[in-house]
Structure formats: structure tokens, C-alpha cells
Amino acid sequence: MGSQKILVIGGGISGLTAAVEAAEVGYDVTLVEQTPYLGGRVTKMHSYFPKLCVPDCGLEINYRRIKMNPKVKIITQAEVENISGRPGDYEATVKVTPRMVNDNCTACGKCVEACPVEIPNEFNYGMDKCKAIYITNGMAFPQKYAINKEACDGCGKCKEVCEYNAIDLDMSEETLTIKAGGVVVATGWTPYEASNLDTLAFGKAPNVIANVMMERLAATDGPTQGKILRPSDSAEPKSIAFVQCAGSRDQNHLPYCSGVCCMGSLKQITYVKEQYPDAQISMFYIDIRAMGYLEDFLVKVQEMENVSLIKGKVAKITEVANGNLKLEVEDIAQGNKISPEVDLVVLATGLVPSKVPGDINYDEYGFVAPDNIGIVGAGCAKKPTDVSNSVMDATGATIKAIQSVVGGGA
Amino acid sequence: MSVAPDKETVDILLMQEEDQALFKICYQCGTCTGTCPWNLVRNFSVRTIMHKAQLGLIDFGEEDIWQCATCGACVSRCPRGVEIIDVMRAFRKIIAEMGVAKVPDSLRMSVKNIAALGNPMGEPDDKRGNWMEAAGVKPFTPETEYLYFSCCVPAFDGKIRRMATSLTEILNKAGIDFGALGNAEKCCGESVRKAGSESVFMSLAQSNIEAFAGAKKVIATSPHCYHTFKNEYPELGAEFEVMHYTQLLDQLIQDGKLTFSKEVKAKVIYHDPCYLGRHNDEYEAPRRVLQAIPGVELIEFPDNRQSALCCGGGGGRVWMETPVGERFSELKIEQAIEAGAEVLAVACPYCMLMFDDALLVTDKEDVLKIKDISELVAEAI
């Protein structure tokens, strides 16, 4: 006997979209999310291209749709350990790690003041600190705290100060079995590990940052409250180099094009210029991939003052005096090597798909293959995709999952 | 009138190379140019050469074709896996074998010497084994465990001979059963092959493979010989195992067959030979040997291992004139001194030639010594 439910794996923008789309046409949905909060990577973005709007409004609408819809069941801190079955009849084994904070939590924040354990803040890519009991940001959903189990020393100070009896340090791990007729895999991506790019100084020179870190530096709820400052000395950068294909289109790293990094950097150039109109910006690229109507955005950036888009892949970055960076790159239009020096380097690191173990076919790079039936990839788990296309893709994936429920069970 | 009048000729010539398609996958990102050490001293766009090849616009008369020192830095970073050295070699082969342009004079002389006398210096081939008796090396027979191949440079160059004699001293002390072929061996052919003289390489390889008959394990002083024996001779029928001498020393130290009784108190900086490191992925054995020597403090160049800066002697460049101010070896001498080194340790005869020369030119002989790893080991046993 098959199941009429839909399982959505991953609570980022693709998974959220799939969950509300399926629920709003009447299907029961279980949405499992590995972290304590929904929203995924987009919650860490300062803005989207090409409209340069903040992610908050889109997320807020989706959170509202989910909260209002009793057909969506959300399980956070849930990791799929295995998935098996056939169209119409799937079974997932899901490990749920304890939040140690219950639904009484009002997010008042007294526990944070009391907590003595400081850890690098993963939400801000380690650029600041947070406590072992934390909430990622003001928009976080669910709006309640979570305890980092590895970091917590069990002192109980949070429990002492909590006025709502919301802390339960005895919560334990559990394993669930979830049945579904169709599955949407929306596990998203992680940034390519920039320290693997051993010639580009990431992890050695503090003023070489990854593009995802730039998003946090620009975000008002980020480690610098939205003021873009370079990490080594909190100085305002006067010159910034954007280094494209930092790992992507490179058989030594990610052989595929990560699809969104060109537009990501053009977007970042735009908001950097808003903050620092006189800054000297350079962007080094192999090819600029601005598809369809995004060409207009590229043209706008090309016309900006003090912005040079230079064809040439950066071969090497060395830290020089004052934490500045020297780049080694061929200026291909000129046919000679140049060695510009800048205050800050942003590496446009690519997208690595996140995989789920089980009966799922992946392509050679780890993206969900198109030949799965009943288990459907959506968004960046399927291919490198920007936010608006992820939303459209997730809607399409939902109909495939519904077809699996309807057709597969028959 | 065609914009690329030579394209057809070039295509036909390159089609004769089985690797002719290699440069066609290049997507023109310039990583090669950004990586190539020539750009530390002069402008050299590797990418432009690849591009011209793609368009059939290669000018075989241009000097740049002979510039590449085959250090492999670009190849190791190329995002498309273009075998840039093989492309350069193909151009040189077309020039050298088909006579479409001129081989630079100094290189032509060395190739001629190798072809005629089996060594690049033009020394009489019946004097090749002269160094052996004084050093205490017995002639190799099929019963001998190891065949030692000294490389032409230590065999004929009195100043570089110390690489062979100190290794001999160590191996004798460790009780290793080894011998050398003397006059029966010839240059391994690595640099002639990189200079495009494929037919000369083939005849050298065949001659050596015959002369090596009975050898099961070969020890090479030069990473260039090591590379060629290990990666190129097997295709021509060679069936022996080959070790670089630092690998053997490392093994002897680990097995307790080589022990030290003296200290060598010195700050030592190690230069990775391209043909041991990038070409054959051996970065650690030489370092372990140096670290095992009592008193040695091993320090590193800012760019080391996979990113190491070449001495400038590969790809036949060792036989060619490089203007003062454009020599990588001089940059490396400066870097070594800046890092506080007292000894620059090498593991390749070409590197030693290049650095000995650079030390003279830069007049730094009182600050820095160039020593082979075997010399440092020999001082400590």
C-alpha cells in the first residue's frame, strides 16, 4: 500500500517552495531540515540579483504560508540517513538530534546572556562569535533558540535563567521512519572549500574572503552590521578584486560552471559601489555568464566608474605589506601578465551539491540526476541555480512528486 | 588572401603529432601565463602560444617556442588539463625534425654533441667512466644489485662530480652492492627529447636499454634521468625499477642501514627539482633525508613543493644562454639568503649547474653554499 504524502528534504528556498506548493493543493507534506532553522543559504544572503531586494520578504511570505497550513509538518535538525522504495511508496530513515529547547521558548534571549560558552558563529562563516545557545538571526524560523550540542558544556545556566521552562537538557536523539509517495530532494549546496585553492591564500591571508562571506559583511544583521570592512584591521577597503571561477570550471577542483557566481559578483560590485562610490573595483573572469535578461545587469556594471572587468583567471594571490594582496594574472586583452595590488579579495567560490544517501541517482558531480522517478531533485541539489530559478524549479519538481503519489501508488 | 596563410601547413604538421588535439581544449583563461615563472623576469604569454596554435598562426621562427623550461608549473594548475609541455615539445619537434625553422645555436650544439658522443659537453665518449675508479665504483655486472647512473654532468664536469663521488662514499659505507656502466652508457636523452630531437632520443634510449641488460634496480642522480627511465623507457621495452638517489637514502635511513656520527650545523633550504617534484610527485623523501642529518635545520622557500620556482635549467634551457637578470636561479639565491639559509640543498645536476653559476654571478659565495643532498649526508656519516 503506497503513501499519499510528500516528503521534502531540505528547508531552503527550494524545499520551502515545494512544501507550500504541494500543501496548498491538498497534499500532506513532511519537510525535514538538517539545521535548527528553515531558510537555508538564502537567509545568509544580503540581497538577490538582479532586483537587489533582501531575502526577508520572500522568506516571510513562505514562512507565513507554512505556518497557516496544517498540512505541512516541519521537522528541524533532521538528517535523512537512508531513503528507499519505489514511486508511490518510499520510506526514509531520519535521525533527529535534540534542540534542547522546547516550544515554550519566546526567544527573549536571557539564556544567551547566561551562557558562558562562546563559539565561532557558523551563520556568519566564523567571522564573529555566538554562544552555545543561539538563534541565527531576527528572521529565524522557528523563532526559538537551539543549543549546539557539541559546544554545550551542560552547565545549566540557561535553564536557571529561563522564565518559561523552555530548556530541556535531557532531550535525546531519535530516529524516525517517514513514509511518502513522492520525494523532493532540495538539499541545496555548500560553498566550495576555498582553502583547497592553495594558490589563492584563503585561510592564510585574512583579507581574502569567499563570496558568501561578503554577503554577511554586507548584511545589516551580519558581523559588521552591514558595513563592509576588511577582516584584518576593520579598515574600509579602497580597492577590491573579485576573483571568478575560484574552483569552478577547473578539473583540479569543480569541473562544472557554478552558474551563479558571475551574477553574484556583479551584484556584490553593485552594493559595494553604493557603500564606497570611489572604491577601485576589478573583476577577473574567464567568461562572464549573464544569461537572458541578466545581460542588462552586466551592462550596468560595465558602465560604472572605477570598475574594470578584466579577462584573465587569477593564478596566484600573495599577502604583501599591511595585509594587502598581490594578484598574479594575465590581462588577456593586453596579452601580458599583471600583478595588481588590492585591499580586499573576494573569491567567487562555487557550489557543491549536498547529497542524501539512498536509492537516488546522482550525476558525476553529485547533482540529483534527471532520470529519477518519484524522487525529484529541486534547486541547487539538481544543478547550480539562482534563487528565482530555484523557486520555479521547485514548483516543477512538486508536480513530479504529486505524479508519483497519484500514479505510483496505483 | 587568407588571414592565416600558414594555417594549413601548421595543421598538417601538427596533425602528425598524436597529441595535436591537446591545445584545442584550452579555453584561454591565462592561468598558464599567470603561473609561468618567466613572467617574474620578462613577459611570456603561454596562453598566446596556445591561442596561436589553435588558430594555426604559430610562427615557428619565434624565439618563444624555446623559452619553456618544462618546469610543469602551468600544467599542474591548468584547469583544463592541457599538457602544455607536450604542446611545446611538438612545436620543437616540428622545427628540429622537419627543419621548418632554426634551432637556437647553443641548443643545436648540445644536441649534436649528445647525438655524436652521448653527452652534451662534447667530451670523448671513452672517458665517460673515468670518474669511477677514483671514486671507488666497480663496473656493473648482471649480478650487481643496483646499477648506478650518474648522469652526464657529474661524469664529465669536475665541479659537479661531487654529486656522484659523495653518493658513492655513502653507498659504500652502507654496504650497498652497486656498480656503474662507465663508457657503455649514454645520456638518458631527456633534454634532447624536450628540445624536439625525437630521433636522437630514440637512439639514445635504445642504446641505454641494451646496455642496461640485466639491471633490475637503477639509481639515478638526476631527476631528469629518473623521470625518463621511469616514465618513458618502459614504453620502449625497459623493465627495470628506478629510484632517485634521495629515495634510496631515505629508505636506507629508515631501515637503519645508514647512520650518522657527525653533526652538520647549518640552516639548509631545499630546492625542489621540477622533475622530482611536480613531474614525479616526490616532495618528501629528500626532506626526510635532510631532516635526519643531525644539526641540520631545514627551512623552506616561500614557494615550495608543487609551487616551487624552477632553477631554469629544464627543457634544454640548461644548454642555452639566459641573459643575466632573467635567471630564475638568481632569484632563488636571493630568496634563499632572505630566508636565512646558509646552504642551498639541491638534488639535481642541472639545478647544481644553474645555482653554482648564479652564485658566481651574484657574488654571494661567502653567504651561501650550494650542496647536493648526498654531500650533506656524506659529511655527517
Q: Give domain status of residue A155, yes or no.
A: yes
Enter the DSSP assignment of A251. Answer: T
Q: Residue B355 pLDDT > 80, yes or no?
A: yes
CB contact under 8 A, B34 and A313: yes
Q: Per DSSP, what are the bridge partners of residue A32?
A: A9, A75
Q: Which residues of A touch B (CB under 8 A)?
A: 198-199, 245, 249-253, 286, 311-316, 328-330, 332, 335-337
User: Do residue A226 and residue A312 come from a single domain?
Assistant: yes
Q: Give domain status of residue A166, yes or no.
A: no
- Residue to substitute from B31, B39, B74, interface A, most A β-carbons within 10 A: B31
- Residue to substitute from A258, A288, A313, interface B, most B β-carbons within 10 A: A313
Q: Are β-strands A6-9 and A182-185 bridged in parallel, bridged antiparallel, or unpaired?
A: parallel
User: How close B88 gets to chain A, by Cα (Å)?
Assistant: 19
Residues of A in contact with B39 (CB under 8 A): 328, 337
Mean pLDDT of A69-86: 97
Tens digits of per-residue pLDDT, B218-253? 999 999 999 999 999 999 999 999 999 999 999 999
User: Do residue A56 and residue A36 come from a single domain?
Assistant: yes
User: How close B52 gets to chain A, by Cα (Å)?
Assistant: 12
Residues of B in contact with A328 (CB under 8 A): 34-35, 39
DSSP per-residue letters across B342-363: SEEEE--HHHHHHHHHHHHHHT
**Which residue in the set B34, B79, B81 is minimally distant from A328, CB to CB?**
B34
Residues 6+ apart with CB under 8 A from B174: B252, B257, B258
Q: Give domain status of residue A247, yes or no.
A: yes
> In this predicted structure, what is the pLDDT of residue B98?
86
Give the orientation angle of helix B7-15 with respect to helix B84-98, to 10 degrees: 100
User: Do residue A365 and residue A233 come from a single domain?
Assistant: no
Domain enclosing residue A222, as ranges: 192-350
**Alpha carbon distance A166, A194 (integer Å):** 39
Residues of A in contact with B77 (CB under 8 A): 199, 252, 315
> In this predicted structure, what is the pLDDT of residue A410?
45
Q: Residue B18 pLDDT > 70, yes or no?
A: no
User: Do residue A227 and residue A301 come from a single domain?
Assistant: yes
Residues 6+ apart with CB under 8 A from B25: B80, B81, B82
- Domains for chain B: give ranges and CATH numbers: 7-98 (no CATH), 105-251 (3.40.50), 259-380 (3.40.50)
Could you give the C-alpha distances from A249 to A12, A100, A252, B28, B64, in angstroms and in order? 25, 43, 9, 12, 28
Percent residues over pLDDT 70 in chain B: 94
What are the two backbone dihedrals, phi and then psi, of residue A58, each rounded to the nearest 5 degrees? -60, -40
User: How close A252 gets to chain B, by Cα (Å)?
Assistant: 6
> In this predicted structure, what is the pLDDT of residue B57?
84
Residues of B in contact with A332 (CB under 8 A): 28, 30, 47
Query: Is B305's Cβ below 8 Å from some Cβ in A?
Result: no
Among chain B residues, the shortest Cα distance to A327 is held by B34
Q: Residue A409 pLDDT > 60, yes or no?
A: no
| Residue recorded with cell 514562512 | A63
> In this predicted structure, what is the pLDDT of residue B16?
59
> In this predicted structure, what is the pLDDT of residue A407?
86
> In this predicted structure, what is the pLDDT of residue B21?
63
User: Do residue A228 and residue A285 come from a single domain?
Assistant: yes
H helices of A246-386, where?
261-275, 295-302
Q: How many CB atoms lie within 10 A of CB B305?
A: 16
Q: Give domain status of residue A184, yes or no.
A: yes
CB contact under 8 A, B79 and A252: yes
CB contact under 8 A, B79 and A337: no
Handedness of CA A199, A202, A203, A205 (dihedral sign): positive
Sheet holding B296-299, edge to edge: B296-299, B266-270, B343-346, B369-372
Mean pLDDT of A287-305: 97
Mean pLDDT of A142-167: 96
Residues of B in contact with A312 (CB under 8 A): 29-30, 34
Examine residue A50 and say whether the peptide bond preceding it is cis (omega within 30 degrees of 0): yes
Mean pLDDT of B7-14: 64
> In this predicted structure, what is the pLDDT of residue B3?
53
CB contact under 8 A, B79 and A199: no
Q: Give domain status of residue A1, yes or no.
A: no
**Which residue in the set A199, A251, A330 is minimally distant from B33, CB to CB?**
A330
Among chain A residues, the shortest Cα distance to B79 is held by A250
Residues of A in contact with B48 (CB under 8 A): 335
> In this predicted structure, what is the pLDDT of residue B1?
41
User: Do residue A76 and residue A198 come from a single domain?
Assistant: no
Query: Is B54's Cβ below 8 Å from some Cβ in A?
Result: no
Residues of A in contact with B306 (CB under 8 A): 198
User: Do residue A200 and residue A289 come from a single domain?
Assistant: yes
Report which secondary-structure segment, H or E, holds A342. strand A341-342
Q: How many CB atoms lie within 10 A of CB B135?
A: 18
User: How close B305 gets to chain A, by Cα (Å)?
Assistant: 12
Q: Are β-strands A280-285 and A189-191 bridged in parallel, bridged antiparallel, or unpaired?
A: unpaired
Tens digits of per-residue pLDDT, B85-124? 998 998 999 899 888 899 999 999 999 999 999 999 999 9
The answer to which of A93-97, A173-177, B6-10, B68-72 has the lowest mean pLDDT is B6-10
CB contact under 8 A, A330 and B27: no
User: How close A286 gets to chain B, by Cα (Å)?
Assistant: 5
User: Do residue A150 and residue A230 come from a single domain?
Assistant: no
User: How close B212 gets to chain A, by Cα (Å)?
Assistant: 38
Residues of B in contact with A250 (CB under 8 A): 79
User: Do residue A226 and residue A266 come from a single domain?
Assistant: yes
* A335, A350, A365 - which closes a domain: A350
| Residue recorded with cell 516543477 | A396
Query: Is B57's Cβ below 8 Å from some Cβ in A?
Result: no
Query: Is B141's Cβ below 8 Å from some Cβ in A?
Result: no
**Which residue in the set B28, B34, B307 is minimally distant from A337, CB to CB?**
B34
Q: Give domain status of residue A103, yes or no.
A: no
Residues of A in contact with B29 (CB under 8 A): 245, 286, 312-313
Are the beta carbons of A88 and A2 closer than 8 angstroms?
yes
**Alpha carbon distance A335, B196 (integer Å):** 26
> In this predicted structure, what is the pLDDT of residue A362?
97
Q: How many CB atoms lie within 10 A of CB B30?
A: 29
User: Do residue A217 and residue A311 come from a single domain?
Assistant: yes
> In this predicted structure, what is the pLDDT of residue B54?
85
CATH number for the domain harbouring residue A342: 3.50.50.60
Q: How many CB atoms lie within 10 A of CB B180?
A: 25
Average per-residue pLDDT for chain B? 94
CB contact under 8 A, B31 and A313: yes
CB contact under 8 A, A198 and B29: no
> In this predicted structure, what is the pLDDT of residue B23?
82
Q: How many domains does chain A have?
A: 3
Q: Give domain status of residue A167, yes or no.
A: no
User: Do residue A322 and residue A369 come from a single domain?
Assistant: no
Q: Are β-strands B146-149 and A89-96 bridged in parallel, bridged antiparallel, or unpaired?
A: unpaired
Mean pLDDT of A47-54: 94
Q: Give domain status of residue A35, yes or no.
A: yes
> In this predicted structure, what is the pLDDT of residue A198?
94
Are the beta carbons of B245 and B375 closer than 8 angstroms?
no
Residue A77 grid coordinates: 535538525
Mean pLDDT of B58-64: 89
User: Do residue A260 and residue A394 come from a single domain?
Assistant: no
| Residue recorded with cell 599567470 | B34
**Alpha carbon distance B239, B233 (integer Å):** 8
Tens digits of per-residue pLDDT, B246-274? 999 999 999 999 999 999 999 999 999 99
Residues of A in contact with B25 (CB under 8 A): none
Residues of A in contact with B28 (CB under 8 A): 286, 332
